[in-house]
A = this chain, B = another copy of it.
Amino acid sequence: MFDGSGSAAQQNDAASYHRRMRNTAELRDEILAAARAEFAQYGLAGARIDRIAKEANASKERLYAHFGDKESLFNQVVLADAGEMFGAIELLPDDVAGFVGQIFDMVRERPDHIRMVDWARLERVRLNLPDGDSVHFVEKMRGALREAQARGLVDERWDPADLLTMLFGLGLSWVQSPDPSADTTNKKVIARRRADAVEAARRIIAPAD
């Protein structure tokens, strides 16, 4: 039907169908962007659907039709954010310490994303992850750590799951600190902290002699 052999009317239908689909996709994207800004700022309880709808130039009715209730919308934003965050970092067996630097950079570039994940944890939102998705990410990272251990690059002392959690803890130290001085725009300070986190990871993983 769509191979060019159809009638003009059929082709017109197809073009109109495509246009409608694109607009729906665009609307979804705009609602998601508005929702991300609102949720990152106010959390699930504090967010207001009418502000999101207004910001996205959509009616509340269309928003509900596309995303369900507020918690469902929150869930979809945090899932998209988690997917994007995991997609932006890669644990390589021969540069495990550098992975902490990747985490450090990633949350600096996406402050709203890590806020979403923190909100989700505090609001005890059950993340209904797409089947196997988070397991996939986590298992891939743990697998890289096991490979690094097998190659003698990471001390065998560590349980891969615990080591992974500590590497994230190190990379997120400043973002998750309540100390106001942890938040800075001073490039020299930021560079020093990044180097510190990577050096700390290097010392942790170094195989004992």
Contacts and interface: CB of A to CB of B under 8 A. Distances in A.
Contact of A165 (B127, B159, B174, B204): B174
B196 A162 contact: yes
A128 to B, nearest CB: 12
B159 A168 contact: no
Given A115-B122, A117-B178, A122-B115, A200 B166 contact: yes
A102 to B, nearest CB: 16
Contacts of A115: 122
A123 interface: yes
A179 interface: yes
Given A118-B118, A204-B203, A204-B204, A177 B173 contact: no
A50 B122 CA distance: 22
A182 B169 contact: no
A179 B138 contact: yes
A43 B182 CA distance: 22
Contacts of A96: none
A28 interface: no
A24 B202 CA distance: 55
A67 interface: no
A161 B192 CA distance: 12
B162 A166 contact: no
Contacts of A92: none
Interface in A99-125: 115, 117-123
Residue of A115, A159, A170 ringed by the most chain B CB atoms within 10 A: A170
Given A118-B178, A161-B181, 16 more contacts: A43-B46, A46-B46, A117-B178, A118-B176, A120-B178, A127-B178, A138-B179, A163-B196, A165-B182, A168-B177, A169-B169, A169-B170, A169-B172, A169-B177, A170-B173, A204-B204
